[in-house]
Structure 1
């Protein structure tokens, strides 16, 4: 087994947990659904669970079977953005559930008016939360051949990649490389950027090797960010993660990239 190491950084990030209509919030760290979506975009899996290149059903089991963790290297700050949106016809929201489509005609805007008045849609006011200056390291542990294929896809993705929202472009390189270490060892040995201190590590429960379970002594956090259907709006499950601490060495970004070239494949 190997561990793929990716660096999630950029001017803006936004990892929504519950983000419908007017108010689009963000978790202070990547969501499991967002990480799956990042990988699926690279691999060319569309929102209907199919391989966009072939039209055949996409096999997501290898991706969901990977052991994953996210290390918070630099937490960044939150930024609230206000802007207005001219909504498209309701028919273009076919991916929403029938109940959510029905809400489009009645949901209140920021000025107290509904989105549609006498069937005529109105300009929608929205408030969207972003993270600025945040840096995370994403660790994926599993089959070396699959990880190499995923790394190649993240380097040359099928669709453009984003950190939670389309406006949030990732810093490059996103992929640092592949380590032969176990997930926990890789999270400890891979340098972090920012001030020298311990770092918070989030290990996703469904992706923790049972052999590592005895090492998980931190608190648990649950978020509604595990999509169970081919698209998150179909239905949600609840993903639990364990929050622990690690003490990696610290470097500047340039030093980290040099380290990755010398120590990762």
Structure 2
């Protein structure tokens, strides 16, 4: 198996899985539906197109920079007659950075890399107001998902690194295969259909792993260098 790694970072991002009506919340980490939607957009798939091949990918995310919750009040007017629409409350993650990974067939992942480099539709981090970063693609590794998320370099911003100490906690949340020791949860973010007339989501089993990154060199080194070791913690 191979793993495609993505850097999901920016001033704002939002990953909702249970938002309804005028209150749009965000999860503390990217959802599977949001990341698969990003991949589908890069390939040029319409919302009514099938996505079974993408659903076969195992998904996980490492929380490198948790960010903070930002609340925004929004108003809107109907274009046809100018009528005022209900006030909505939207929540975002500000200044967050995540390392997301999808594991699967190498040929499928290679095609996704090509699509991400030349996307058909704009790519965004959960909502259209949150564009994806230029360094979205971090690499295609010949490694399983857990190994890739555990060993890859810390991708937090420089100012966040300088605020942290000699060790940092980098939790990993991923599809549960039953073989890993960690906190087990369920999440309803598996997209069965993106069709706006009948969006469908199903549940998945999730496991949360504790990982501690031990910084081994100066934080002032360029972010492209490997400068820490990640060790599992109980």
Relative distance call for 1:141 and 1:46 in structure 2 (3 A) is: same
Q: CA deviation at 1:158?
A: 0.8
Alpha-carbon distance in structure 1 between the residues aligned to 2:6 and 2:220? 13
Q: Given the alignment of the two structures, is residue 176 of structure 1 paired with residue 138 of structure 2, yes or no?
A: yes
Q: Secondary structure of the equivalent of 2:107?
A: helix
Q: Look up the match of 2:231.
A: none
Which has the greater radius of gyration? 1
Q: Structure 1-normalised TM-score?
A: 0.73
Q: Look up the match of 2:206.
A: 241
Q: Look up the match of 1:18.
A: 18
Q: Given the alignment of the two structures, is residue 82 of structure 1 paired with residue 77 of structure 2, yes or no?
A: no
Contact 2:194 2:200 in 1 (8 A): no
Q: Look up the match of 1:130.
A: 92
Q: Which has the higher contact order (CA 8 A, sep 6+)?
A: 1
Q: Given the alignment of the two structures, is residue 68 of structure 1 paired with residue 30 of structure 2, yes or no?
A: no
Q: CA deviation at 1:246?
A: 2.4
Q: Given the alignment of the two structures, is residue 224 of structure 1 paired with residue 188 of structure 2, yes or no?
A: yes
After TM superposition, the structure 1 = structure 2 runs for residues 18-37 of structure 1, keeping only pairs within 5 Å, are 18-37=18-37
Alpha-carbon distance in structure 2 between the residues aligned to 1:182 and 1:255? 26
* Structure whose residues are more often strand by fraction: 2
Q: Look up the match of 1:110.
A: none
Q: CA-atom RMSD, angstroms? A: 2.4
Q: Secondary structure of the equivalent of 2:75?
A: strand
Q: CA deviation at 1:16?
A: 0.8
Alpha-carbon distance in structure 2 between the residues aligned to 1:148 and 1:142? 10
Q: CA deviation at 1:31?
A: 1.1
How big is each residue's C-alpha offset from its partner over 1:15-73, in whole Å with a ceiling of 9 and x where there is no partner?
01122221111111111111111111111111111xxxxxxxx4x23211112110000
Q: How many residues align?
A: 214
How big is each residue's C-alpha offset from its partner over 1:195-246, in whole Å with a ceiling of 9 and x where there is no partner?
33231101123xx4xxxx32x2111222322222243743332233111122
After TM superposition, the structure 1 = structure 2 runs for residues 84-233 of structure 1, keeping only pairs within 5 Å, are 84-87=75-78, 122-192=84-154, 193=156, 194=161, 195=164, 196-205=167-176, 208=177, 213-214=178-179, 216-231=180-195, 233=198
Q: Look up the match of 2:222.
A: 255
* Structure whose residues are more often helix by fraction: 1
Alpha-carbon distance in structure 2 between the residues aligned to 1:86 and 1:121? 5
Relative distance call for 1:171 and 1:230 in structure 2 (3 A) is: closer
Alpha-carbon distance in structure 2 between the residues aligned to 1:256 and 1:22? 39
Alpha-carbon distance in structure 2 between the residues aligned to 1:88 and 1:128? 21
Alpha-carbon distance in structure 2 between the residues aligned to 1:253 and 1:46? 43
Relative distance call for 1:61 and 1:188 in structure 2 (3 A) is: same
Q: Which runs of 5+ in 2 are unaligned?
A: 227-234
Relative distance call for 1:189 and 1:81 in structure 2 (3 A) is: same
